[in-house]
Amino acid sequence: MTYPSYVPEAICPKCAFPAHQMFRQYFDGTHDILEDKEVKKCKILGEHLHLECACGYEFVFRPLDWKGETPKKVKKIKVGK
């Protein structure tokens, strides 16, 4: 599963609250999370960002590219024989 890259214009899929106003936590290693009132280890490896909306919805963004724009995907040209 791949996580979306962080963009300040993102909104909560549940209530449309803007992401730039949400509580966020940055992690780059192993850490604990609270799931259903039980402490568990986060299974996401590498740097990622947890966002928590005011409505209670939580979502995760993939590793961050702070130094520049995210690289655009380039379609590979398929050569038929």
**What residue has token string 């655009």?**
72
80 located within any domain? no
32 located within any domain? yes
**What residue has token string 């299974």?**
43
73 located within any domain? no
Query: What is the sign of the dihedral through the CA atoms of 18, 24, 28 and 29?
Result: negative
pLDDT tens digits, one per residue of 8-31: 788 888 888 888 888 888 888 788
Tokens encoding 71: 């690289």
62 located within any domain? yes
pTM over 0.95: no
Q: What is the pLDDT of residue 70?
A: 46
pLDDT tens digits, one per residue of 43-76: 877 788 888 888 888 888 876 654 455 455 556 6
81 located within any domain? no
* Residue range(s) defining the domain that contains residue 51: 1-66
